[in-house]
Structure 1
């Protein structure tokens, strides 16, 4: 007896990559890394808990029920809605911006050390901002926009000096560190040349702080994230091809030069505006991508997880800064530097051992 087997019509389906699931939204469908999705959900829950704790804890404790009533609009609490909530929103936006910026720049450089605060981008934004503040060149409302110019200038310097027929990752990081040191020294020079009171204000800004940052202060960052949202969505897809080796990406028709330039530009703008809003909150852009990558175990650093980790780090650091030595308020940059500096040393030592073993 002969059995006829009908062949499936249409082209054969490509095998689904291991660890990915297919999500359909109407006519559109896309692949989602299962572990990354679970990690993103867990980070979102942790971030929600940390946000409620941030609104509850302070000189006066506010019960979680009253906090939820105030946030949802059913109740009134001046402490929650006027004092703590604006700072919380600023911390969330700043952390997410640094997380995304660090991911994009580390992806292009293929080096975990290549974060905006290590290779001079944050220092460039800080130098131009402090100069504008010290010499009264612009009003405080325009500081975030001035920071963009400083970040782009620093990125251009690093790119020009690091380019030698190509962009070598180690040379890129080393030159970035040198540019960062030079720009930080220039910042301190500007502070000594201006008015004493303005210099003191600039010194406080240089530590990285959310204190006194309201909705008006974080407006430039909200606008920037909204305007760059299409570019961020594009970057989430483009970073996959940049992670490939140059020969493979070129064979696939990817214009690596343009893609890398676009990714770096988005990262520099986000890091610069975040620096202008809250000051140079060090090491968030260094930590967030690496934590996201190690928890998701993906080939590329997931942008969403990195943004959530960055926001969580900033919120928790600011919460600890307010309660660790209460009533003394520690700037959020002090706490992130205390955690990030040892991690940076560990990365350098591990990289040196790996290089020595080759």
Structure 2
């Protein structure tokens, strides 16, 4: 579902809003506030929820031993089951963390792409993920962080610093979308090189542990990661609702926005900050799971066929991609388990090349 501003949501824009066609939209009123809900986005949201539920059940059922869906439901509902250890202790925490990481990455990617106005922009590309990676690898390689249990805090701090640095360097009397992406790519390359230096010069044993973390894996993921990430996502809901309403505002060119009295810079900063925080927290919970934040918003946009990137559809798409990729990672070469980041990378790299070719040809 992708709510956009109603006719009374932005001061001074009533005359413009009345010209917007309501075809394909439904007006939803909540007190004095009003929303235009894109009906196709709503249908896509329902479809994604059904697909996500089916994937979660499949992930809980399949493994070294197959568990019947009825038994999985019993465990999830807290009822006695002989499969409580396998499903409840081993599989369910991993699926929950993957679900939350996917939600965070999908929403973060949608926000960053909205701010940058570029389908090639994502936390992976603009330096946020590499900021988290460089920080964790550096601290682990030199023994400051002794285990991956402390990695989430370092990842969040590193991702936030890198994202804010990119935003600050891209700022010049306003945020220019192309400059934001180009500076982000430059920062990513620099942080990637710095990560390589840390791996080469640091302690060999710690560097090896850092390499494992860098693959982006849900192996051994538990409720410790899920708890705080769930709270972050819950706190992000009001901001995400505001961002969904503000999307149409930042779709105007700068001159039009200034004429309408819109504070574009504040809106873009708010969206960018939320995207940076979510991407950093996702990296802290599971390591750098590449390309999810890049793919999910564009898949959701093509499914919903909306004017703006649908934020909540993007979040659900991200969750579906991560949970499905983790299922493939566990079963593709069973009994060997691949990191989920390897699977998303194998899918995401060709997708990125396709996007580059499509943009070069002038496709949308």
Taking structure 2 as the reference length, the TM-score comes to 0.89
* Equivalent in 271, 277, 283 of residue 275 of structure 1: 283
Q: Using the TM superposition, give the Cα deviation of residue 107 of structure 1 relative to its aligned residue in structure 2, in angstroms.
A: 0.4
Higher mean displacement: 22-31 or 86-95:
22-31
Aligned to 1:20: 25
Aligned to 1:58: 63
* Equivalent in 237, 243, 251 of residue 251 of structure 2: 243
SS in 2 for 1:23: strand
Instruction: Pick closer, same or farther for the CA change 1:25–1:162 going to 2, 3 Å.
Output: closer
Structure 1: give runs of 5+ residues left out of the alignment: 1-12
Q: Is residue 40 from structure 1 mapped to residue 40 from structure 2 by the alignment?
A: no
Q: Using the TM superposition, give the Cα deviation of residue 24 of structure 1 relative to its aligned residue in structure 2, in angstroms.
A: 4.7
Structure 2: give runs of 5+ residues left out of the alignment: 1-16
Aligned to 2:130: 123
In 2, the alpha carbon distance for the partners of 1:327 and 1:44 equals: 29
Matches within 5 A, 1:134-173: 134-138=141-145, 140-173=148-181
Aligned to 1:221: 229
In 2, the alpha carbon distance for the partners of 1:180 and 1:295 equals: 30
Matches within 5 A, 1:36-115: 36-76=41-81, 77-115=84-122
**Kept in 2: contact 1:220–1:273 (CA 8 A):** no
Q: Using the TM superposition, give the Cα deviation of residue 137 of structure 1 relative to its aligned residue in structure 2, in angstroms.
A: 2.5
Q: Using the TM superposition, give the Cα deviation of residue 14 of structure 1 relative to its aligned residue in structure 2, in angstroms.
A: 5.3
**Kept in 1: contact 2:174–2:265 (CA 8 A):** no
Instruction: Pick closer, same or farther for the CA change 1:160–1:133 going to 2, 3 Å.
Output: same
Q: Using the TM superposition, give the Cα deviation of residue 177 of structure 1 relative to its aligned residue in structure 2, in angstroms.
A: 1.7
State which structure, 1 or 2, has the greater radius of gyration over its C-alpha atoms.
1
Q: Using the TM superposition, give the Cα deviation of residue 164 of structure 1 relative to its aligned residue in structure 2, in angstroms.
A: 4.5
* Equivalent in 191, 201, 207 of residue 209 of structure 2: 201
**Kept in 1: contact 2:143–2:203 (CA 8 A):** no
SS in 2 for 1:216: helix
SS in 1 for 2:134: helix
In 1, the alpha carbon distance for the partners of 2:196 and 2:18 equals: 58
In 2, the alpha carbon distance for the partners of 1:349 and 1:51 equals: 34
Q: Using the TM superposition, give the Cα deviation of residue 224 of structure 1 relative to its aligned residue in structure 2, in angstroms.
A: 1.5
Taking structure 1 as the reference length, the TM-score comes to 0.90
Instruction: Pick closer, same or farther for the CA change 1:328–1:141 going to 2, 3 Å.
Output: closer
Aligned to 1:178: 186
Q: How many residues align?
A: 344
SS in 1 for 2:192: helix
Aligned to 1:7: none
In 2, the alpha carbon distance for the partners of 1:27 and 1:267 equals: 28
Q: Is residue 234 from structure 1 mapped to residue 239 from structure 2 by the alignment?
A: no
In 1, the alpha carbon distance for the partners of 2:262 and 2:173 equals: 19
1:152-182 deviations in whole A, cap 9, x for unaligned? 2222332344344444333332322222122
**Kept in 2: contact 1:144–1:220 (CA 8 A):** no
Instruction: Pick closer, same or farther for the CA change 1:166–1:31 going to 2, 3 Å.
Output: closer
Instruction: Pick closer, same or farther for the CA change 1:238–1:26 going to 2, 3 Å.
Output: closer
Instruction: Pick closer, same or farther for the CA change 1:234–1:142 going to 2, 3 Å.
Output: farther
In 2, the alpha carbon distance for the partners of 1:194 and 1:218 equals: 30
